[in-house]
Amino acid sequence: MRPAHPTERAVGMEYYVSDADGVGGRLRGSDDQFRVRELERFDTEPVDADPDAYPHLVFRATLSGWDTNDFAARLSDALGVSRERVDWAGTKDKYAVTTQLFSVYGTDPGDLPEIAGVTIEVLGRAGRGLEFGDLAGNAFGLVVSDPDDPERAATITAELASFGGLGDDGDGGDGESTSIGVPNYFGQQRFGSKRPITHEVGLAIVRSDWEGAVMAYLGDPADAEPAETQAAREFVEETHDWTEALERFPDRLRYERSLLHELAECTGEPGPETFRAALERFPSNLQRLLVHAAQSYAFNRMLSERLERGLPFDRPVAGDVVCFSDTDAPDGLALPDPDRTQCVDERRVGSVTRHCERGRAFVTAPLVGTETELADGEQGELERDVLDELGLEPGDFDLPGEFHSTGTRRAILVRTDLELEEDPLTLSFALPKGSYATVVAREFLKVDPVCLG
């Protein structure tokens, strides 16, 4: 175990669990060197099914140079419908080639537009739109560009196999598959790769500091941003001149501009309700994401604290809460079901350990919300310590509208079968939904997370 990069530590990822030096290099040398394909579990009716009974058109899209929100906005504009009528199961980012499902309410196949960088395959119709639960996981193919020492990958693979409680069953080299485990951290992109502030916005929202949330989103310039953007953020921090700030913020920062429009329309000094209304102009999924980022930050802190205390990730100790596997998951994918949980008392440690060894159970930590019940024992102690440090408690998530969250639990370890290929160095693996490819890749590269994209 070794200290993580300072940028990662700022979002709660305090450690790498592999001690070996990284291979170096970077991901996303080009979009086609970071490929993501959804592992789907969503049934459709034929495309000529009755549109009254099955009003949602379902299609698979392969996107290059599009993040999910931007594509949904472009699609809805082209169709002349509200963006809220476009649904998907998982959010993907821009700098990749991604293949994922979408559904659109009240649209026919012939209405779908041609969009540059997008290939669409119509699958059929459904009686409802896609939801997060319809995604089982994702398969990844990541090429490492310009590695310093690619031969280190074999040592790192063996260390990650050991961390996952799986022993050293090969080095994954030359197409050989090896089972590895890593802490199930939320990756840097959850918080912003170049400007990690979404958890700060979310923490302010959870504390009902609506002005603080808006200013965290508008201000706080980052060195990685263009000089024009940094200057605009500095201006709005110093002046709170919303109208003039609209002239200074680039058009591409449309969410910042959305906030500024709401504030500029206010007569007099904006109060908490105006700042809240500005945030409520965001799409509903982005509103939820901000609160989720606060939960994710607390979760990352809990995982780092568990590592510091030397508690295992692959098996429970007394007081842990485990969840069990989803029996409907695709073959070969260990998918935790956070709705099926059990508190592990001293008598059950042995039997639950065996379930964990077989991939049937997973130790969890909370994504805190109004219905969260914390663990017992040492895990419960560290959960309370982290929440106390952040000044949070479950009741704080009793918030209006899309900001409200009941919480859930999440597995603290993610296991996968890794295949390494050489020349170029390529990592291929599959992860359950909600787990981050960069959390696997960071253990191999050990670089500034900006290089992970």
Which CATH number is associated with domain 37-137? 3.30.70.3160
In this prediction, residue 177 carries a pLDDT of 78
User: What digits encode the pLDDT tens for the residues 66-95?
Assistant: 989 899 999 999 999 999 999 998 888 888
Domain borders along the chain are: 2-27+144-184+414-452, 37-137, 198-282, 286-411
In this prediction, residue 213 carries a pLDDT of 97
CATH superfamily of the domain spanning 286-411: TruD, catalytic domain (3.30.2350.20)
Whether residue 326 lies in the annotated active site = no
Q: Which of 27, 12, 288 is nearest to 145 (CA)?
A: 27
In this prediction, residue 167 carries a pLDDT of 57
Give the count of beta carbons closer than 10 Å to the beta carbon of residue 296.
24
Of 31, 93, 320, 396, which one is the catalytic site residue?
Answer: 93
Class of CATH domain 198-282:
mainly alpha
Q: Which amino acid is at 204?
A: A
In this prediction, residue 69 carries a pLDDT of 87
* Beta strands 135-143 and 426-432, pairing class: antiparallel
In this prediction, residue 453 carries a pLDDT of 76
User: What digits encode the pLDDT tens for the residues 189-228?
Assistant: 899 878 899 999 999 999 999 999 999 999 999 988 999 9
Q: Which residues of the chain have pLDDT under 70?
A: 167-175
pTM score, two decimals? 0.88
Under 8 Å CB-to-CB from 285, ≥6 apart: which residues?
69, 91
In this prediction, residue 173 carries a pLDDT of 56
Q: Which of 123, 162, 209 is nearest to 18 (CA)?
A: 162
Structure-token match 């472009």, residue found: 74
**Cα 105 from chain centre:** 26
Q: Residue 285 has which token pair?
A: 């999924």
If DSSP states are collapsed to H, E and C, what string results for the chain?
CEECCHHHHCCCCCEECCCCCCCCCECCCCHHHEEEEEEECCCCECCCCCCCCCCEEEEEEEEECCCHHHHHHHHHHHHCCCHHHEEECCCCCCCCEEEEEEEEECCCHHHCCCCCCEEEEEEEEECCCCCHHHEEEEEEEEECECCCCCCHHHHHHHHHHHHCCCCCCCCCCCCCEEEEEEECCCCHHHCCCCCCCHHHHHHHHHCCCHHHHHHHHHCCCCCCCCHHHHHHHHHHHHHCCHHHHHHHCCCCCHHHHHHHHHHHCCCCCCCHHHHHHHHCCCCHHHHHHHHHHHHHHHHHHHHHHHHHCCCCCCCCCCCCEEEEECCCCCCCCCCEEEEEEEECCHHHHHHHHHHHHCCCEEEEEEECCCCCCCCCHHHHHHHHHHHHHHCCCHHHHCCCHHHCCCCEEEECEEEEEEEEECCCCEEEEEEECCCCHHHHHHHHHCCCHHHHC
In this prediction, residue 172 carries a pLDDT of 52
